[in-house]
Structure 1
Amino acid sequence: MILNRLRAALILLTLIPFMLFACGQDEESVRVDMSKREDIRVPEPEPAITYAYLPQYSHTVSYQRHNPLIEYLARETGLPIRQVFPDTFEEHRRMVEQGDIDISFSNPMTYIRLAESGARAFARIIEPSGNPTFRGQIIARKDNRAIHHLRDCKGKRWIAVDPLSAGGYLFALGLFLKHGITVDDFAEIAFAPGPGGKQEKAVLAVYAGKYDFASIREGTLDIVKDKISLDKIRIVARTRPYPGWVYAARKGLKPQIVDKISKAMFKLTMSKPGQASILSAAGMRGIIPATDHDYDAIRELAAKLGMYGEYDTGRRDDL
C-alpha cells in the first residue's frame, strides 16, 4: 500500500511541470504599445530666494552653520528662502552671474569678481574675534623640524584651499610676496581637491604629512578640532587683516527684498540667547552694513597679485 502511494506521488510530481506549461499556453499574451508613454517629471522646488555659502567647507557643515540663520531670516521677512550648494568657488560665482543665487555669502576676493557682474555688497560679518576683518594662517605640523618661520616655506610643498580663496590662498600669497617669496620658490603649490570641504582638506593633508604646509582662513582649526589633535599643528604665520566675509545681492534682485533681508540681519545680536546661537552656529558675532567701497583694499591686493590691473600701484610694501 505504501509503495503504491509513493509511486502515485512520483507520477504526480513528474506531471506538474507539464500541467503548468499547459495552463500557460491557454493564457492570452499581453501586447505593450511602446508608442504610448507618459513622461514623469521630477517636481521642481517651490520658488524661493536662493541663499548660498561659498563652499569652503563640506555641504553638511555649510548646512549646519547656516540653516538656523536661513530659518530666522524666513521667519522675520516672511520670504521663502532656500539654501543651495554649489560645489566649487567658480560654480558659486557663475551661479550668481546667471541669477541662480540671489544672496551670496562669500569671501572678499570672490566678491570683487561677483561685483563685475553687477552683484553688490549690502552686509558683512563681525568675525568670532569681534572684528569685521579676518586673516589667513599658514600652518605646519609641529614635528616638521624644517618649518618654523615664513622663510622656511621656500622650497617646500604647499597645499592651499582654492585659487580664489582669500584667507586660504591669496592673503598668504600676498604675505609671501611682501617677503620676497614668489610662486616659483615652492616645490609645489596644490589646491584642495573635490567639491566643498576644502578648508578641512587642506588641514588634513598637512596633518597626514602629504604636504609640508597649508594656508587656511582664520577659524578653520576650530572647525576641525574634532577630527585632529590641534596640539600637533603649528601656526607658522598670520597675514594682515582684511575686510571680512560679505553678503551680496545678485544683479536685478528687487531692492525691497534686499532691504527686508538686511534689516533682519542687522537685528541679530549676541545679547539675546536665541539669536546668539544662530550667530555662533554661522561662525559670526554679528552682521553690519557694507558697501562696495569697503572692498577696495581687496582690489588693491588683487592688482598686486597680478589678478587685476586697474589698481596696480607698483608698490609691494603695503601687502
Structure 2
Amino acid sequence: MKIICLFLFSLLICPGCGDDEPAIKVDLKIKEQVIRPHEPDVITYAYLPQYSHTVSYTRHHLLVSYLRKKTGLNIKQIFPDTFDHHMCMVGENKIDISFSNPFVYVKMARKYGAKAFARSIEASGRENFRGQIICRKDNVAIKNLSHCVQKRWIAVDSTSAAGFLYPLGFFLDHGIEKSDFKEIAFAPGPGGKQEKVILAVYAGKYDIGTIREGALDVVVGKIDLQQIRILAMTAPYPGWVYAARKDLDTSVVEKIQQAFKALDMKNATHERILKAAHFAAVISSTDSNFDSVRELVTKTDINLTQ
C-alpha cells in the first residue's frame, strides 16, 4: 500500500520537474503593490511611511474601515515603502487619498496638483506639531545646541517635516548652517524611519538625531529611553494633512471629508478609532493652511520641485 501511495505521489509532482523546464528564480526582496484588476472602483489610501508598515496599519486600519462603511466607498490602505515612493504614486494617480506631513504635501501640491482637504489634530489636542533634536544622555560632547557643530546628524528623510525641515530651520535660526555638520545622513531603507533615527542615536552611530514629537513613544520597551535626551524642540507648524490627488472626483473627497468631520471622541466607537490613529479629531483644511511651511522651505533654500 505504501508503494502504491508513493507511486501516485510521484505522478503528481513529476510534471513540474522535467529536465526541459528551467528553474525560475524568485527574488523575495522585490515587492510591488498590487490592486486587484476586478476592483476598478478602489479608492487607495496611504499613510506616508514615517513608521514601519505594521505601525501604519495598526494606527489606521480602524479608520479606513470606518471611512469605507461611512462613505460606501471601496477604500483600501496601501503601503508605499519610502517618502519618494509615496509622492511618486500620488503623481501617478496610484494614491487617491494621501496622509502625509506638511512638507511632503507642499511638494506634492507643487509638483502634482494635490489638494489639501483635511488635517489631523494631535492626540494631545494641538493642531500643530514640532520636531525634536535628540542625543544620548551620556554624550558629554553635547551639552547644548552649539555643540552640534561638527557632529554627525541623522535625520528621518530629506522630505521629513519634523524629522528634517523644522530642525534645519531651527539650526539656521541659531546660526548653524548645513555645512557646519560633520555629516548629515538620512534613515535608510523603507518605512520605520523615525524608529531608525532613534535607534541610530541610541547605538552611538550618530551624535544627534531629529524626529517628530511623539516618535519616542514608538520605541517604548525596545530601548532604555532614559539614555535619550531631548536637546531642543522646534517651533510648532501645521499638523499632518489629508490631500486628494489631482482630478479625484470631488464627490469622493466631500464624502470622506464629511466622514472625518463626523468623528466624535464622545462616541465610544469613534474614540477607539481616533485613539488608535493617535488623533483627537480630523478637521477641514485648505492649501493656505500650509503657507508657513512654504515660507520655511524658502528660508532653508530647498527646491520644492525636486
Task: Classify the secondary structure of the residue corresponding to 1:159.
Answer: strand
Alpha-carbon displacement from aligned partner over 1:259-308 (angstroms, at most 9, x marks no partner): 10010111112222211111111121110010000001010000011124
Aligned partner letter, 1:101: I
Q: For residue 146 of structure 1, report the CA deviation from its aligned partner.
A: 1.5
Alpha-carbon displacement from aligned partner over 1:189-225 (angstroms, at most 9, x marks no partner): 1100000000000000011111111000011011111
**Equivalent pair of 1:299/1:308 in contact (CA under 8 Å):** no
Q: Percent identity?
A: 58
* Alignment correspondent of 1:136: 131
Task: Classify the secondary structure of the residue corresponding to 2:270.
Answer: helix
Q: Larger C-alpha radius of gyration, 1 or 2?
A: 1
Match runs of 1:1-319 below 5 Å: 44=37, 46-47=39-40, 48-116=42-110, 117-308=112-303
**CA shift in 2, pair 1:302/1:45, >3 Å:** farther
TM (norm. structure 1) is 0.82
Alpha-carbon displacement from aligned partner over 1:66-125 (angstroms, at most 9, x marks no partner): 111000100111111111111111111110011000000000000001112111000001
Distance in 1, matches of 2:257 and 2:281, equals 12
Distance in 1, matches of 2:303 and 2:88, equals 19
What number of residue pairs does the alignment pair up?
273
Q: Once superposed, what is the RMSD of the aligned Cα atoms?
A: 2.0
**Equivalent pair of 1:124/1:289 in contact (CA under 8 Å):** yes
Distance in 2, matches of 1:233 and 1:32, equals 59
Distance in 2, matches of 1:303 and 1:202, equals 25
Q: For residue 46 of structure 1, report the CA deviation from its aligned partner.
A: 2.3
Task: Classify the secondary structure of the residue corresponding to 1:227.
Answer: coil
Q: For residue 33 of structure 1, report the CA deviation from its aligned partner.
A: 11
Distance in 2, matches of 1:193 and 1:271, equals 40
Greater CA drift, 260-269 or 240-249: 260-269
User: Which runs of 5 or more structure 2 residues have no equivalent in the other structure?
Assistant: 1-17, 22-34
Distance in 2, matches of 1:137 and 1:273, equals 33
Q: For residue 32 of structure 1, report the CA deviation from its aligned partner.
A: 12
Q: For residue 43 of structure 1, report the CA deviation from its aligned partner.
A: 5.6
Task: Classify the secondary structure of the residue corresponding to 2:264.
Answer: coil
Distance in 1, matches of 2:188 and 2:166, equals 20
Task: Classify the secondary structure of the residue corresponding to 1:145.
Answer: coil
Runs of 4+ more than 4 Å apart: 31-34
**CA shift in 2, pair 1:79/1:189, >3 Å:** same
Distance in 1, matches of 2:19 and 2:239, equals 63
Task: Classify the secondary structure of the residue corresponding to 1:247.
Answer: strand
Q: For residue 228 of structure 1, report the CA deviation from its aligned partner.
A: 1.3
